[in-house]
Amino acid sequence: MYNTDVMNDNKNIIDSDDLISQTPSKLDNAKTVGNIHVEDPRIIAKNINVYYDNKIAINNVSIDIGKNEVLAMIGPSGCGKSTFLRCFNRMNDTIESCIVEGELYLDNENILDKKTDVVPLRAKVGMVFQKPNPFPKSVYDNVAYGPKIHGMAKNKIELDEIVIKSLEKAGLYEEVKDRLDTPGTSLSGGQQQRLCIARTIAVNPEVILMDEPCSALDPIATARIEELIYELKENFTIIIVTHSMQQAARVSQRTAYFHLGSLIEVGSTDKIFTTPQHKLTESYITGRFG
Amino acid sequence: MNNLKARLAKERRFRLYGILSIALALTLLSILFISIFSQGYTAFQETKIQLDINFEQSVLDPKKTKDWDVVKKANFNILIKNSINELFPDVSGRSQKRKLKKLISTSGEYQLRNYIKNNIEAIGTTKKMWLLADDDVDMLIKGHINRSLPENERRIDNDELKWIEVLETKKIIKKFFNKTFFTSGDSAESEQSGILGALLGSLFALSITLIISFPIGIATAIYLEEFAPKNNKFIDFIEVNINNLAAVPSIIFGLLGLAIFLNFFELPRSAPLVGGMVLSLMTLPTIIISSRVSMKAVPPSIKEGALGVGASEIQAVFHHVVPVAIPGMLTGTIIGMARALGESAPLLVIGMVAFIVDIPQSVTDPATALPIQIYLWADTPERGFVERTSAAIIVLLIFLILMNSLAVYLRQRFEKDIN
Ligand SMILES: Nc1ncnc2c1ncn2[C@@H]1O[C@H](COP(=O)(O)OP(=O)(O)OP(=O)(O)O)[C@@H](O)[C@H]1O
Ligand SMILES: [Mg+2]
């Protein structure tokens, strides 16, 4: 429950009670609280604006993401987390009405540049979607598709190996090992989501975008995915959108709080959850709205 | 409580209406089938008369050349005349004898000719041969002419009836499976006419239609649905026009074909080639629209998933969207083709309505089509053609049923492949 005493103790909290009900345009001059920069950035987002049909969905967001870092993005529903996440692999290109402005550097290359080829970009930046979307093909083909089109396996044996490894990492192999040729769409919702995760990691991406990957999973499968994130973090950069504070606290090093299209606050995860600087962040975390 | 009862009653009533309308449709359909079949099934039999044909040397080959080029000039009709006169020795007088000969179809002569052409050694021997009977005899044997009617009210007079009854007691007049119907083209004589010419005409025209409209239709649909720029005035204009084309009466396409393919490009008249081209104009919008609908039905998340693992736009479309949409595309194509098979108006305009005896050998030979043959025969009052009309309708319906079953089969197979 919301605790006024805590709030009054903390003098740094910016008074923005009225901002809760504000429209994005009124938040214009609300500057991000906390340090958006990191020492050794892998991804640098500069002044990103995203519009749907001229309606602003992401408002002037800048943030760095470090190597081997897990960044959690939290915020109330509709605040633009998915929209922002989809900028990192240019997935917003597929939406006709969507316009993305700003600069987004991945390994010093501006991926928002018209000249950037999205095919290698998307192989490098994998994505797990909010809703499970397995291909209407067999479990095996779902996972094998990415490696196949990128020519990652020389022969069937290598391909089998990639498929099995990816399924194992996603914690699905034991459940499907004797029905690899059944359609992916016949799996349960949670199994489908893990299949999509396996499909994504099968192409060995360097950056993984996860849009609420565990929203359809039970605690056991969730734990398995969180373990996977922990393992992957050794080599990869991971950006995860989640509605579960506990999950954000468990898996991420840094957390970014979004509100109505603006990045309100960024900081190390423990700080955000223990001593949030912005009133909106605090309200959200303590469950006053969201 | 009351509410629930009312709702259940409403549901029951609605279900009842549904069953009633299906029952009504099925009844009408079976009435149609029964009437066509009961009129048409006799056309699948033909009456033949057995004669002892003496291939006389003196008539066919007096100089004993054994050369077909010589023999073919002989008068084979004499052989039939001799044979049937022998059978009825007490018939005398020219007109009576001519009437007797008329029991045999005029095709009898060609039948003998063909036999000798292939067996030139048979000259000088006697052979029992089943010759096609005249259509009036055929009708009598099939029971379409009532023997008890007064003479002036039936097409077979008393003499002929007497002779036929003699043939019947000798058991040398019999019904056979109607091979002629499936192996010959149109003819002025109903007993010699067949469906093969029209059938081949239809098949040739449909192959042309398929070759033209399937690839163009599918490619257009894929382009418009997946690759064409959105919110582009020109593309919108094309889309509106495709939808309009689907609603254009087919005879207009026929006129277009007449003006462009015949008058401007001077392609052959009455040819299945032009027929197929005209029908493909008509089928294209159907294929495009149904293909687009089935592609629209593919959830966009599937394509996103493919793009997400780094598939290019083309790969995503051809690996994931098209395979899911294929059953719908094929169904649309087959339904379009089935419509084209039953279409006659545009073919009338481009001249596929002529009386064509020869069986078309290629797409440029003049030909008719099944619905046109039905129309031509339905226009002929002779009883023999009436039953052939029904038989031709049966053949057309069988083809339509086959095509639609193929559509269902393909859809199920592809759906199984996908799931
Ligand atoms: N395809 C679209 N067309 C138009 N508007 C969109 C589209 N997708 C998202 N929006 C709008 O952009 C805003 C941000 O949406 P987004 O999906 O990014 O929210 P989110 O933070 O991911 O929410 P959730 O937690 O519910 O997934 C919303 O107001 C939404 O209505
Ligand atoms: Mg979302």
Kindly report the pTM of this predicted structure: 0.82
Question: Is A105 part of any domain?
Answer: yes
Point out the ligand 1 atom lying closest to the alpha carbon of residue A86.
18
Q: How far is the CA of A82 from the centre of ligand 2 (A)?
A: 4
Amino acid, res. B319: H
Full DSSP string of A111-164: TTSTTS-HHHHHHHEEEE-SS----SSBHHHHHHHHHHHTT--SSHHHHHHHHH
Q: Which two tokens stand for residue B20?
A: 């009633």
Average pLDDT of chain B to the nearest whole number? 89
Among protein residues, the one with the nearest Cα to ligand 1's atom 4 is A52
Question: Whole-angstrom distance between the N-terminal and C-terminal Cα of chain A?
Answer: 13
Furthest-apart CA pair in chain A: how many Å? Answer: 65
Q: Count, in order, helices (H) and strands (E) of chain B.
A: 19, 3
CB contact under 8 A, A200 and B309: yes
Angle B32-B38-B39 from CA coordinates, rounded to 5°: 95
Q: Flag if A119 and B310 touch (Cβ within 8 Å).
A: yes
**Residue A162 burial (CB < 10 Å; 0-12/13-18/19+)?**
buried
B287 forms beta bridges with none
**What does each of the 290 residues of chain A score in pLDDT, given as a tens digit?**
344 443 444 434 444 444 444 444 444 445 788 888 888 889 999 999 999 998 999 999 999 999 889 999 999 999 999 999 999 999 998 888 899 999 999 988 999 998 889 999 999 999 999 889 999 999 999 999 999 999 998 999 999 999 999 999 888 999 998 999 999 999 988 889 899 999 999 999 999 999 998 887 888 888 888 988 888 888 889 999 999 888 999 999 999 999 999 999 999 999 988 988 888 888 888 876 54
Helices (runs of H) and strands (runs of E) counted in chain A: 11, 10
Query: At a CB cut-off of 8 Å and minimum separation 6, what does A236 contact?
Result: A68, A205, A206, A207, A208
Residues in chain B closer than 8 A to A199 (CB atoms):
305, 309
Measure in Å the smallest separation between the Cα of B311 and chain A Cα atoms: 6
**Residue A290 lies inside a defined structural domain of this protein:** no
Pocket residues: Cβ below 6 A from ligand 1: A 52, 57, 77-83, 95, 97, 130
Tokens of A253: 């090093």
Residues B325/B297, Cβ–Cβ less than 8 Å: yes
- Amino acid letter, A60: N
Of B152, B163, B188, B168, nearest to B98 by C-alpha is B163
CATH at residue A110: 3.40.50.300
Pocket test for ligand 1, best of A51, A61, A83 (most atoms within 8 A of CB): A83
From residue B378, alpha-carbon distances to A54, B145, B375, B383, B398 in Å are 65, 19, 5, 10, 19
Dihedral sign for Cα atoms in the order B368, B373, B376, B377? positive
Confirm if A261 and A16 have CB atoms less than 8 A apart. no
Which pair of tokens denotes residue B243?
């939808």
The order of strands in the sheet holding A254-259 is: A125-128, A207-211, A237-241, A70-74, A254-259, A262-268
Contacts 24+ apart (CB under 8 A), A77-83: A77/A243, A77/A290, A79/A258, A79/A259, A79/A260, A79/A261, A80/A50, A80/A258, A80/A260, A80/A261, A81/A211, A81/A241, A81/A258, A82/A130, A82/A211, A82/A241, A83/A50, A83/A52, A83/A57, A83/A58
Token pair belonging to B167: 């043939």
Chain centroid to Cα B30, Å, comes to 21
Residue A131 forms part of a structural domain: yes
Q: Mind giving me the DSSP string for B367-416?
A: ---HHHHHHHHHT--SHHHHHHHHHHHHHHHHHHHHHHHHHHHHHHHHHH
Closest by Cα among A195, A190, A159 to A179: A195
Residue B131, φ and ψ in degrees, nearest 5: -105, 145
**B418: confidence class by pLDDT, cuts 50, 70, 90:** low
Q: What angle separates helix B2-40 from helix B383-418, to the nearest 10 degrees?
A: 130
B307 neighbourhood in chain A, CB within 8 Å: 91, 94, 118, 122
Of A205, A209, A208, A173, whose CA–CA distance to A191 is shortest? Answer: A173
- Which amino acid appears at position A67 of this protein? K
| Domains, chain B, ordered by start | 45-177 (no CATH), 196-418 (1.10.3720.10)
Model confidence at B188: pLDDT above 70:
yes
Q: Check if the beta carbon of residue A142 is closer than 8 Å to that of residue A202.
A: no
Tally of domains in chain A: 1
Residues in A touching B227 (Cβ below 8 Å): none
Answer yes or no: are the C-beta atoms of A9 and A290 closer than 8 Å: no
Find the A265 Cα to ligand 1 centroid distance in Å.
20
Q: If you measure from the C-alpha of residue B319 to the centroid of ligand 2, how many angstroms do you get, rounded to a whole number?
A: 27
A186: Cβ–Cβ under 8 A, 6 or more apart, which residues? B419
Q: List, for residues B18-75, the tens digit of each pLDDT value.
A: 999 999 999 999 999 898 888 888 889 899 999 898 888 888 888 888 888 888 888 8
Ligand 1 center to A58 CA (angstroms): 10
How far, CA to CA in Å, does B176 sit from each of B22, B42, B80, B180?
A: 39, 11, 20, 10
Residue-range definition of the domain harbouring residue A226: 4-285
pLDDT in tens, B270-326: 889 999 999 999 999 999 999 999 999 999 999 999 999 999 999 999 999 999 898
In this prediction, residue A289 carries a pLDDT of 59
Going by their DSSP bridges, the two strands A262-268 and A254-259 should be labelled as antiparallel
Going by DSSP bridges, is the β-strand pair A262-268/A237-241 parallel, antiparallel, or unpaired?
Answer: unpaired
Q: Is B308 on the interface with A (CB under 8 A)?
A: yes
SS3 B139: helix
Grouping H, G, I as helix, E, B as strand and the rest as coil, residue B174 is: strand
Q: Could you give the percent of chain B with pLDDT greater than 90?
A: 42
Classify the phi-psi angles of A131: left when phi > 0, otherwise alpha if psi is within -120 to 50, otherwise beta.
Answer: beta
Strands of A98-106's sheet in order across: A55-66, A41-52, A98-106, A109-110
CB B225 within 8 A of CB B295: yes
